[in-house]
Structure 1
């Protein structure tokens, strides 16, 4: 999925660093000020050059340094299911109803085995490896449409998610979303949570050839956002997601969500039970050490 352009920090914002003295200046008393306004005649004051007798702490143009905004930004990459959206129950229910319609046995254990994988991969593993691409596409489309109907009734946003995104954006972080799910699910979350103004890029399952734990999805979203992998921190709730982020060379915040336990997140750099109360510095601390 193409990068979603958003407003970036003002690239004309900078700080001025000034020198407090200039070589070659002496401490003798300033001469008597000229009686005529020489600056209006094209005299010494009209060129911008220092006028003899200015205080020594007046900066000259040569000592003014322009500091551009961060040219090596930090990007926080968010998984969607279980991180932005508490989607465990509606996904499980929509998979079970799809399996029932097809006359296929499907348990909660089957559901748990698919975390982090694309729907295409999950369908082949649990509904028949011999299915054609057309059959997979049709079943996936029906299942995900059913899921979206369920979450539209009462959207289950994860507590603290939008507040943390706002804090990160305020600290000049880039924000990206990377999910193994369909683009329509991702964009539904973006619309209902009003996230569009915050985003620098999004990637969905249809944009990658391999699902997690392959790092493709995270490497691709980092490239689309113009950020080095080593300047990214991923928020993930699944074992495969954590493994994919680590394989991409990124920092990882593990989030304990419905259906997961801490044993799945042992490779994360930090594990939290909630996003509430987290700040930009908490994410910055998880960047891989150079």
Structure 2
């Protein structure tokens, strides 16, 4: 079946935010004497699961509430508002090419609506998407497929008509569970388990070459 919709993750796919996000996050944790292991960092990629954060905060010598930590993070800043950001090379032209062909595009991310809207406005990309589903619009985080299913419902799209471009194992699993064809994007430079994806690409130029036969 021809693909009529392309849905993108945000962090690590639209913008290379992963390292910057980690630095801000770890800076906030360090204020409470909490330091991440490599396993911790891997578990955090692509998800906003609050239970993971609760477990991390339990390591503090003095009790830290989620509200206290959230306030500390606001004080320190974030990638979306405070760092230089730009779309991945070749992404904007790829999206514009999709849209010229009548393909509808969207974002499904675990990041909050406020930060995603700020980032998209800073990059002048708001007009490039037909639907945007953020973490605070869902009751379940990736790897649950809820976000992708919600986007498909808004677009009136069948799962088999959708291509999803993801970079993390939890995001890939969410998209596969939703029934989409999944492209693992490896251009952010962070190595992750992409074994569940249908294909993998290292750039958006390669992505265009690999999926152009699926686009009517």
What interval of TM-score do these two structures reach, taking the shorter chain for normalisation?
0.7 to 0.9
What SS does structure 2 have at the residue aligned with 1:102?
A: coil
Q: Under a length normalisation based on structure 2, what TM-score does the superposition of the two structures give?
A: 0.85
Q: Distance in 1 between matches of 2:54 and 2:202?
A: 32
Matched residue, 1:233:
163
Partner of residue 63, structure 1:
none
2:198 aligned with 1:259: no
- What do the CA deviations read for 1:10-49 (whole angstroms, capped 9, x no partner)? xxxxxxxxxxxxxxxxxxxxxxxxxxxxxxxxxxxxxxxx
Between the aligned partners of 2:98 and 2:56, the Cα distance in structure 1 is: 39
Cα distance between partner residues in 2 of 1:214 and 1:232: 17
Shift of 1:152: 3.6
Unaligned runs of 5+ in 1: 1-71
Provide the rounded CA distance (Å) in 1 between the counterparts of 2:158 and 2:80: 37
Give the structure, 1 or 2, with the largest relative contact order (CA under 8 Å, sep 6 or more).
2
User: Aligned partners of 2:9 and 2:74: how far apart in 1?
Assistant: 17
Match of 2:115 among 170, 181, 185: 185
Residues 119-198 of structure 1 aligned to structure 2 (within 5 Å): 120-128=50-58, 135-140=65-70, 142-143=72-73, 146-148=76-78, 152-198=82-128
- How many residue pairs end up in the alignment? 210
- Asked whether the equivalents of residues 3 and 214 of structure 2 are also in contact (C-alpha less than 8 Å), the reply is no
Deviations 1:196-228 (A, max 9, x none): 222111111111111111111100111122212
| Residues 72-130 of structure 1 deviation map (CA, whole Å, 9 limit, x = unaligned) | 9711111000000101221111111111112222234312211122152431232239x
| RMSD (Å) for aligned C-alpha atoms | 2.7
Counterpart position of 1:110: 40
- Give distance in 1, aligned partners of 2:24 and 2:155: 33
Distance 2:113 2:93 in 1: 23
- Per the normalisation by structure 1, the TM-score is 0.65
Which residue number in structure 2 is paired with residue 273 of structure 1?
Answer: 202
- CA 1:225/1:137 → structure 2, altered by over 3 Å: closer, same or farther? farther
Which deviates the most, 211-220 or 108-117? 108-117
Distance in 1 of aligned mates of 2:40 and 2:202: 24
Q: Of 240, 246, 256, which aligns to 2:176?
A: 246
After superposition, the Cα gap between the structure-2 partners of 1:225 and 1:145, relative to the gap in structure 1 and judged at 3 Å, is farther
1:282 to 200, 205, 211: 211
* Residue equivalent to 2:14: 84
Q: Which is higher, the Rg of structure 1 or of structure 2?
A: 1
Gaps of 5+ in 2: none
What SS does the aligned partner of 1:252 have? strand
Give the stretch that moved more between structures: 75-84 or 134-143. 134-143
